[in-house]
Structure 1
Amino acid sequence: MLHKTNGIVLRTVKYGDTSLIVSIFTELFGLQSYIVNGVRSSKPKAARGNLFQPGNILELVVYHQEIKNLQRISEFKLGFIFNSLHFNIVKNTVALYMIELLQKTLKEPEQHLELYYFAENALKVLDTAEMPIAANLPLFFTLKVGEYLGFKLNGRFSEYTPYLDLQEGHYIDLPPHHIHHLDPIGSELTDAISQCTDAAQLGNIAMNKERRRKLLYAYLEFFRLHLPEFVEMQSPPILHDILDA
């Protein structure tokens, strides 16, 4: 049966001489793998295979059968045309971080509508964002992905609760008896980031490159504490080098 759905390309692997196997986070079916034939030959039609670049948002018509691990695509085209994301090295690196985080956290082929809409919008925002919005977007994106996956930070930073306990996921009055917590500065910044309702607000949150780096690694540790299958990511060191952040 054919279905229309949007999807975000996460990963592309060459298959055979002319085909691709593509991992796509779809609006309707969550994470899915598709085989796409005939898009790597010398024929002009094969140039359409370039549309399966990680981060691209596609409009798809797909065959879907619950019992299959590998689905097929009937039709595909760009659902959104990026102006700078694929050409600006900073934005492209931020996008690759976002895509890798989705790859590492989405394991089951189940619908995540709110997360899908958030991720699609975040990529569109990144395309037009300026610094420091782009530099702070990975922090915001990471916290929000965790929230949509079910481990939201509870409480608020205040003079009475100045420490964020990452193991328990809430703000507390004194440092806990373990290493998985943020100091008052990091806790206050995290609260400010998590309270943003619009990406433009990220531009008002000032921090130096070392603080931004430490926060991102702390958030990824938060993921490891709450997602046992979460494995180390490759993109953060590259992200920090490119952002100088």
Structure 2
Amino acid sequence: MLEKVEGIVLRTNDYGETNKIVTMFTHEKGKKAAVARGAKKTNSRLSGVTQPFTHGFFLIQGGRGLGTMQQGEAFSSMRRIREDLTKTAYAAYIVELTDKTTEDGEANPHLFHLLQKSLDYINEGVDPAIVTNIFEMKMLSQAGMHPEMSACAVCGETEGKFGFSIRENGLICHRCFERDPHFLPLTPAAIRLLRLFYFFDLERLGKIDVKEATKKELRAAISMYYDEYVGLYLKSRRFLEQMEQFDHAFNGKEQRNDD
């Protein structure tokens, strides 16, 4: 059985001296793995199309289980991502999060489109930190998490000062802060963006410019929620955190020198 799928390469693993096992997230079949014979050879016709983040068409021989990749044609190699360490770090986290929260063979065209658009935006130069925050917020439902983002999770009020509460699973207003002494205070800008990222259509993303201080708030809230409710340990997340810490320290030093 030969089938053609549209997919994005999530990861590859060496298989013997010259082969790769390529794990893709496909539009038609969800997550699917296939052996790409000879793909480790630099002159192989499968070498280029089996690079991580590549979006393309793939011909797979075999039914269920591990098939064999016969051919591939790239729509986009995501070259700009692979040439930039920062973009690579964010993209690697996005694909690993997709990999760890999905099962083989479960079709999810909506998730495929979300993944594709997110990588496209990063490749095109949109702020990768913000694209990643949007992806994380939209992936919560994939992980079975549904925080209350439209109103206070306790009293239902939509106006007032808000913070983020792990205990109450979402936003809480100033009237209900006492319900969770450990709530995370957030500025109105951070609250507005968290709501926006959770609800809006990614296709509508235009030019977006977020202050570094607000980015830190977004990262703190989203990371706290994922640590508590999703509970995934991702190597790419750890590397990203280390890189962000270095960037913040470097930028702070540069600012002090300017002063």
Q: TM-score, normalised by structure 1?
A: 0.81
- Mapped to 2, the partners of 1:10 and 1:134 lie a distance apart of 17
Post-superposition CA distance 1:210-237 (Å, at most 9, x none): 324413412422xx52x4xx42112234
State the Cα distance separating 1:123 from its structure 2 match. Answer: 0.6
- Structure showing greater Rg: 2
State the Cα distance separating 1:95 from its structure 2 match. Answer: 0.7
Post-superposition CA distance 1:146-166 (Å, at most 9, x none): 234543333425434723334
Q: What is the number of equivalent residue pairs in this alignment?
A: 232
- Mapped to 2, the partners of 1:120 and 1:167 lie a distance apart of 33
Preserved contact between residue 144 and residue 194 of structure 1 (Cα < 8 Å): yes
Preserved contact between residue 82 and residue 88 of structure 2 (Cα < 8 Å): yes
Aligned-residue RMSD, C-alpha? 2.7
- Mapped to 2, the partners of 1:64 and 1:161 lie a distance apart of 56
- Mapped to 2, the partners of 1:100 and 1:147 lie a distance apart of 17
Task: Determine the structure 1 residue equivalent to 2:97.
Answer: 101
* 1:147-226 alignment runs, 5 A limit: 147-156=141-150, 158-160=158-160, 162-166=162-166, 169-173=169-173, 174-175=176-177, 176-177=179-180, 179=182, 181-185=183-187, 187-197=191-201, 198-200=204-206, 203-208=208-213, 210-221=216-227, 224-225=228-229
Task: Determine the structure 1 residue equivalent to 2:73.
Answer: 77
**Does 1:49 pair with 2:41?**
no
State the Cα distance separating 1:168 from its structure 2 match. Answer: 5.1
1:72–1:178 CA distance, 2 compared to 1 (3 A): farther
| Segments of 4+ moved more than 6 angstroms | none
- Mapped to 2, the partners of 1:13 and 1:31 lie a distance apart of 15
Preserved contact between residue 53 and residue 119 of structure 2 (Cα < 8 Å): yes
- Mapped to 2, the partners of 1:28 and 1:234 lie a distance apart of 28
**Does 1:23 pair with 2:16?**
no
Task: Determine the structure 1 residue equivalent to 2:84.
Answer: 88
Preserved contact between residue 189 and residue 205 of structure 1 (Cα < 8 Å): no
Task: Determine the structure 2 residue equivalent to 1:238.
Answer: 239
Aligned with residue 63 of structure 1, among 61, 64, 84:
61
- Mapped to 2, the partners of 1:148 and 1:161 lie a distance apart of 29
- Mapped to 1, the partners of 2:143 and 2:238 lie a distance apart of 24
- What percentage of residue pairs aligned between the two structures are identical? 20
1:154–1:40 CA distance, 2 compared to 1 (3 A): same
**Does 1:128 pair with 2:132?**
no
Task: Determine the structure 1 residue equivalent to 2:13.
Answer: 13
Of stretches 235-244 and 15-24 in structure 1, the one that deviates more from structure 2 is 235-244
* Matched position secondary structure for 2:28: coil
* Matched position secondary structure for 1:122: helix
Higher relative contact order at CA 8 Å, sep ≥6: structure 1 or structure 2? 1
Preserved contact between residue 7 and residue 24 of structure 2 (Cα < 8 Å): yes
State the Cα distance separating 1:122 from its structure 2 match. Answer: 1.0
- Mapped to 1, the partners of 2:75 and 2:163 lie a distance apart of 42
Q: TM-score, normalised by structure 2?
A: 0.77
State the Cα distance separating 1:3 from its structure 2 match. Answer: 1.9
- Mapped to 1, the partners of 2:72 and 2:216 lie a distance apart of 42
* Matched position secondary structure for 1:147: coil
State the Cα distance separating 1:178 from its structure 2 match. Answer: 7.5
Task: Determine the structure 1 residue equivalent to 2:137.
Answer: 143
State the Cα distance separating 1:127 from its structure 2 match. Answer: 0.8
State the Cα distance separating 1:134 from its structure 2 match. Answer: 2.1
Specify the code of the residue in structure 2 equivalent to 1:190.
Answer: L
